[in-house]
Structure 1
Amino acid sequence: MKKKANKVYSFNWEGVNSRREKVKGVMDAEDINFVRAKLREQGINPKRVRKKSSLSFSFGDKINARDITLFSRQLATMIKAGVPVVQAFSITIEGQTKASMRNLLIDLRDQISAGTPVAQALRRHPKVFDELFCSLVEAGENSGTLETMLERVAIYKERMETLKNKIKKALYYPVFVLLIGMGVSALLLIKVVPEFEKMFAGFGAELPAFTQLVVNMSRFMQEWWYLVLGAMVAAVYIILMMKKRSPAFELRLSHLGLRLPVIGQLLHKSAVARFARTLSTSFAAGVTLVDSLESAGKASGSLVYNRHVQQVREDVSTGQQLNFAMRNGRLFPTMVNQMVAIGEESGALDTMLAKVADFYEEEVEAMVDNMTSLLEPMVIVVLGVIVGSLVIAMYLPIFQMGDIL
């Protein structure tokens, strides 16, 4: 029976070395006395030793994909250099500045030093390490190629994050433009139009229909702006809650997104790229095709594609070939199905899927660049139309007075 590992804490220390220079650092230990003893062994007279607060784990330093990618690369490099796994974790911990990541690595190191396999230790943190990550690490442990698998995971995550950032850039830009347009309109209606309305009151003439419409909108916004803002916030909140609690509603939103002009094509190509990249990476690592499909469906980023891929997984598990199962829902492009068929026939499925992923990642990048270049002039046009319309509405009565005079 293995002895249970004692809990390890992080301590900030300050002291004076043999040259009477002030030094400081961080050390992991079971108690403060061990830190003091260890420092004295190194010729450092400890002046102040204090346990780090664990509150930082919860605030402002959430672990992200970049942290996991960097950790994977560092661990792969050290294992490849012959450093034992537990020592590699300790070295990685020493270089961590983010408290949440540091605490996570300390927990992993303690489990591994107690005899727990790396993949099993990772699976105890499902919010940080997904099933694909754990499966690849497990395959690496079983085959003795852990460093290769960790490096492959790092490359995979870098590519996936790059693709996600491109999609976010394409989707956030129109939303940002819309919000700016709404903000400018609200500012003009609430602050600028009322000043013109006061001036029009002295004209003693009926206002043009367009000007009267803008004035009525201004009055409504001045009186009920908080209701408009509240309705918008409530609508967003309701949609998010329904998406979270209703799978059927989330599926409808996913279908709607794929049917949108331009944006829909971008989401389609992104889902195919992420599916192909994940399936290629996991299958090449020795993960079974059925398990690889489960991870690939979740990684596609689309509920519609995930539902279809899970059906494909069920068909493959009953003995159907992958390319025939993928054709059933008519969701994947013909080229993808043909490449998968060639890969299955030649025994190079992972290579063909990698080529598919490369192609669609390039397509996504080209679409994002084109959308960005088209949206920039559209921003100017949209804002110009909004501001220009309000300005014209305010000056129409002045133009009419000039004609009368």
Structure 2
Amino acid sequence: MGFKLKDIKPNETVDQDTVKQQKQSFLTKEIKLFSKPFSNKVKEDFYTELSVLLKAGINLKEALELIHDSQKNKLTKEILQGIIEKIISGESLSEALQSNKQFTSYEYFSIKIGEETGTLAQVTEQLGAFYVRRNEQRRNLIGALTYPMIILTTAVLVVVFMLQFVVPMFQDIFEQQKVELPAITKFIIGVSEFVKDYGWLLILIIVLLIALNYAFKNAVRFKKVKDQIILKTPYLGNFVKTVYLSQFTQAVTLLTASKVPVVNSIQLVKQMINFHPLQEALEDVEQHILKGDSLSKSLKQQKLFDDKMVAMVKVAEETNQNEFIFDRLNKQYNIQVEQKSKMLATIMEPFIILIIGVLVGVILIAMYLPMFKLSSVIG
């Protein structure tokens, strides 16, 4: 947007206005730090409503104004107002979204494709469906993990309490009676003393790791290492891979429906999905396609893509049903994500109970073994 003459003030008021703007900017940043004006739930409603309005024949500016007027959250309204102003100034919707950090590259490229192919209403409908599924997956995952996490938190507090208070009580008794301690008891007492002396350091390290993750989450090298670790983690890696394959198949469905060539589709999907192992695999797929290989053959050479996908893509190429096949694959992966999220909770719950039971059992055994020796000495 260009400068507006009415916004230019006399020199003597510039300093005061600058100070006020800085204070407002600081307060706004502090508020935004703890809120999400465009959460996934808001995006679900936004794209669904935008699609309905566009299909009803309402132009983009009026559709956005109607959505803006229906919002109650002040920050959400401010973001929508900014988008509307950019569209009035001549920018496209994709450009307006790209300049706002609340929107992802996936949304930007999807909207851009819709604008270039004249299918913006269909693309926004698919984005709405994408966030419906994503929010459903999130709800299922949170619901599935809530109980195990409560158990884990409670159990950790119990173990810390035992190490911090119960073990030192036994330690005082053993020292007074001068009982010879078994190796396991010495080890538990050593752990207890470490927690008592350096517990604050452990908490500090955890906080530091969380802060580093937040600070470097967009750094390429850091994200590459983190994604590789996640991918190699038992079960969790397979679950995360399925989530991103679901996004991959949905993106390809969107692109094939918009008649985008295969090579361009791979190039765009590579930018749309922010998962480094998938981006590397798609880079190799792109190179093989440029050399003359088919999509199915190119996918087959990457471990990230399973045999089912390769077989279905081969069928799609032979029958020229790419959009239909990728849509079916997307639905299958979505079902898998839902099933695996539920199974994750089913596996975690007994596993957590088993681990905590073993820890508590070891502590109790370590404390009671010297008691048996003490009773025999007294007897």
Classify the TM-score, shorter chain.
0.7 to 0.9
1:92 aligns with 2:63: no
Unaligned runs of 5+ in 1: 9-52
Amino acid at match of 1:282: L
Normalised to the residue count of structure 1, the TM-score between the two structures is 0.75
- Alignment check: 8 A CA contact 1:284 1:350 kept: yes
Normalised to the residue count of structure 2, the TM-score between the two structures is 0.80
Give me the whole-angstrom Cα distance separating, in 2, the residues matched to 1:222 and 1:135: 53
- Alignment check: 8 A CA contact 2:179 2:373 kept: no
- Alignment check: 8 A CA contact 1:132 1:282 kept: no
> Superposition RMSD on alpha carbons, in Å?
3.4
- Deviation at residue 349 of structure 1 after TM alignment: 0.8
Give me the whole-angstrom Cα distance separating, in 2, the residues matched to 1:7 and 1:156: 43
- Deviation at residue 339 of structure 1 after TM alignment: 0.9
- Deviation at residue 233 of structure 1 after TM alignment: 4.2
- Alignment check: 8 A CA contact 2:141 2:342 kept: no
- Deviation at residue 242 of structure 1 after TM alignment: 6.8
- Alignment check: 8 A CA contact 1:181 1:386 kept: no
Moved more, 385-394 or 157-166: 157-166
Q: Which of 225, 236, 239 lines up with 2:199 in the alignment?
A: 225
Distance 1:338 1:351, change over 3 A: same
1:251 aligns with 2:224: yes
Give me the whole-angstrom Cα distance separating, in 2, the residues matched to 1:141 and 1:119: 8
SS in 2 for 1:207: coil
Give me the whole-angstrom Cα distance separating, in 1, the residues matched to 2:175 and 2:121: 78
- Alignment check: 8 A CA contact 2:148 2:345 kept: no
SS in 2 for 1:329: coil
Give me the whole-angstrom Cα distance separating, in 1, the residues matched to 2:239 and 2:189: 41
Amino acid at match of 2:236: I
Q: Which of 246, 250, 256 lines up with 1:273 in the alignment?
A: 246
Unaligned runs of 5+ in 2: 8-23
Look at both structures and tell me which one has the larger radius of gyration over its CA atoms. Answer: 1
Give me the whole-angstrom Cα distance separating, in 1, the residues matched to 2:119 and 2:238: 39
1:379 aligns with 2:357: no
Give me the whole-angstrom Cα distance separating, in 2, the residues matched to 1:61 and 1:103: 14
Q: Deviations over 1:278-300 (max 9, x none)?
A: 21123213344334323433555
Distance 1:315 1:78, change over 3 A: same
Match of 1:200 in 2: 174
Give me the whole-angstrom Cα distance separating, in 2, the residues matched to 1:102 and 1:58: 13
Match of 1:72 in 2: 47
SS in 2 for 1:344: helix
Amino acid at match of 1:402: S
Distance 1:238 1:98, change over 3 A: closer
Moved more, 176-185 or 128-137: 176-185
Mapping 1:6-155, distance limit 5 Å: 55-56=27-28, 58-62=32-36, 63-125=38-100, 127-142=101-116, 144-155=118-129
Q: Deviations over 1:15-62 (max 9, x none)?
A: xxxxxxxxxxxxxxxxxxxxxxxxxxxxxxxxxxxxxx7754634332
Give me the whole-angstrom Cα distance separating, in 1, the residues matched to 2:6 and 2:40: 27
Identity over aligned pairs, percent = 23
Q: Deviations over 1:186-220 (max 9, x none)?
A: 22211221122223333233233322322232223
Match of 2:371 in 1: 398
- Deviation at residue 102 of structure 1 after TM alignment: 1.0
Give the number of the structure with larger relative contact order, counting CA–CA contacts within 8 Å between residues 6 or more apart. Answer: 2
- Deviation at residue 263 of structure 1 after TM alignment: 2.3
Give me the whole-angstrom Cα distance separating, in 2, the residues matched to 1:148 and 1:397: 73
Distance 1:94 1:203, change over 3 A: same
Amino acid at match of 1:223: D
Flag the structure with higher strand content: 1
Amino acid at match of 1:153: L
Give me the whole-angstrom Cα distance separating, in 2, the residues matched to 1:144 and 1:241: 39
- Deviation at residue 90 of structure 1 after TM alignment: 1.7
Give me the whole-angstrom Cα distance separating, in 2, the residues matched to 1:196 and 1:285: 72
Give me the whole-angstrom Cα distance separating, in 2, the residues matched to 1:174 and 1:91: 43
Mapping 1:183-194, distance limit 5 Å: 183-194=157-168
Give me the whole-angstrom Cα distance separating, in 2, the residues matched to 1:153 and 1:266: 22
- Deviation at residue 380 of structure 1 after TM alignment: 2.2
- Deviation at residue 138 of structure 1 after TM alignment: 4.0
